[in-house]
Chain A
Amino acid sequence: MIRFDSIRVTFDGFTAIHNLDLHVEPGEFFTLLGPSGCGKTTALRTLAGFVDPSAGDVFIDGRRVTTVPSDKREVGMVFQNYALFPSMSVWENIAFGLKVRRTSGAERDRLVEDMAARVELSGDQLHKKVSELSGGQQQRVAIARALVLKPKILLLDEPLSNLDAKLRHQLRGELKALQSDFGITTVYVTHDQDEALTMSDRIAVFNKGRVEQVGTPQEIYDASASEFVCNFIGDSSSLTPALIHRLNELARRSQLDPARLSYLRVEKAALDLPGRSDHLHDDGSVTVSGRVTARNYHGQHSRYTVRLDDADIKVLVKEDGRHGPGLGEEARVRINPAHVLQYGATG
């Protein structure tokens, strides 16, 4: 559906995107994820036709659109701040593109009302000013305005980033539901990993103008392809060479390379019941004992820091009423070496 072919974007000597190759399937909810300044928005704007790449090509539905003006690319866009026109009513906002295309009056009325119904905007709301709508309603107007032109692709540029946390959660669901309802190929830009993991079919993680990994949310999380992806998404503890050695000794099948950078996701470590330490379980995991150096209470759970050899391992423990070990006490941590993520050169 969408193909970026060796796209390179430079601004005044600064290379925002180095050599981007991406492929988005029809109907997919595809997310460009990364920290600010990583090039994700530039990639989206290149697709929209607001940025001219200095090399490479963009294809939409097999057609090369690199030099095609943005309104001829059949893409709809929802902007970060929605960019609703404040001088017009909700109805006029949605009808704007149709009017520019000189769609006949009757047809225009039909299309606008039809679209408004699909995004659940009432007739009453259609004649309000956009400033009189709530954040959620404004988002629906922005989506309706983009979709009424029947684009092949919907582009969303961090549409939830300016909202407060509660509204953000609510609109996230609403947005995803609308997308699956319309079945439209969607490219979504965000810096919020939570948003990316819950909404996307596939994610491309950007860093410094390059794509570090493309995959499903689970692939990105459980099998992060690079140290950057591992650190950017989720939370993990860094394992030291000494601890890796010990894991290798205990779990005879495990052959982790101590010279590489090693991480363990916090929820993959667990506190074991008191008993025999330093032993191997049937599932291949091992129990290692250490001492609790810190405990942060979060209500639903606590986050323990346990010193194993010279490594500080973070462990999440559900606060289900049972007493965990106290500060300075011994704690036994269960780790499966298969969950350890390793990066960097060997040797």
Chain B
Amino acid sequence: MKKKVFIALLILVFCFSGGGMYIARSIEEVITNLENVITLHQVEFLRKDLQNKIKVVQTDLLLKDSPHALHIDPFIAHVEEMEKASHVCSNCHDDDDDEVRQRLDHFQQKIDSYVKMLSRVYTIRANAERLTEERNAAFSLGEETLAEVEKIVITSSEKISKRITRARNSIAETEHLLFFLITAGPLLLILIAYFFLKQFTSSVDALLDATRKIQQGNLRYRVQEELPDEFQVLASAFNDMASSLKDQCMRMQQTERLAVVGELAAGLAHEVKNPLAGIKVSIEVLANELTLEQEDREVFLRIINEIYRIETLLKSLLSYARPPEPETVLLDLHQLLDTTIKSASYSLINPTNTAKMIKEIEIVKDFSPELPPIIADHAQIQQVFLNLMLNAIDAIPTKGTITITTRKESNHIVQICITDTGKGMSPENMNKIFNPFFTTKPKGTGLGLAICKRLIELHHGTIHVSSTPGEGTTFYITIPEKQQIQGITQ
């Protein structure tokens, strides 16, 4: 589109500048033609003027020595005017071809001779015969000159007439062309503008229509038309946005569903917890008081164990659905992590042989000395760390390393990373691990990480995971140094 707009702009600039230049040139041409016509008329006038001036001098010559003779000064003035007129004629033809120039030079020589003869007639003192002869010679030359001018006038009149016709035709042509330009130019501009507007509005209409469809809830609608240029890019982006919107909606719906299920489960757990405690106590009493065969006693113990499992599940459900408000204190995170590492290490002790470990795991601590103490709920944060460390231990099959890193981020936030070199996760699982009831363990509840996320969010922090199958997993936790609870900064 940018290219088209640029090209259109160029066309417009070209049309305007080209048209402008052409109009300017045409006007100049018309002016030149008009000037030519004026000049030609002027030339005609000048030739007539020269003719008249020669006639005046001839009249002076005829009147010489008569009672009507002029004084010498007016006669000199008349001759000078005639000379001036002939020079004007000659100067006008400076640029003409050699033939015309030669003819005019010859004519000018004739005028010069005529002037000398006129002077001679006025200065000579001789007998009547010589005087008459001189006067007649001058008069004859004057008549010859006059005849030549008349001849030039007739010849040039035809040429002038042709030139004037040519000039008029040229003016008429220019007029037609100008009229065409004035009419066609705006029409061309309107056509170009219409073409661009149509392309623009049809594309905008298609996008607007798609927006309305999405607004009406039709998230499956996509812009199918092939739109021009950048509009196609916009349509693709719009389609991607619609797809993303649909995914987000589905995810939200799922989250909402899970939340509802969680709430229901927690409610149910609360209701089941007390009767279950009664059942558990009753079974324990019966198991202790009754005289039972060994096989029957084991059945009772299995029942009690299952009741314990149900209780644990119920506690987890309640922790997820209705976590208690954090009771914040000033915490030394490194101390808390050390305690948690110790607690987690117990799970590695072989129950049959306490001197041996079930897995060979090295725990590496990369603690930042600049880490400040934070204000948080001691029990909840420890629960999060313990959960993540136990998961890390579970993820390592027999041998591996768990690295715990702490550092201070900017804006009063601390970061804790727990990295294991375990089996890792697929991207699909990674997206679901914080969903409640999602688990990959055979006996897992699927609530551990969901609770972790919930507790960290209660502290206005974040928890993220990155994992590569076969290489390991890292959990990134960020927690603010201070907590804002019910408008009070702690």
B and A form one assembly = no
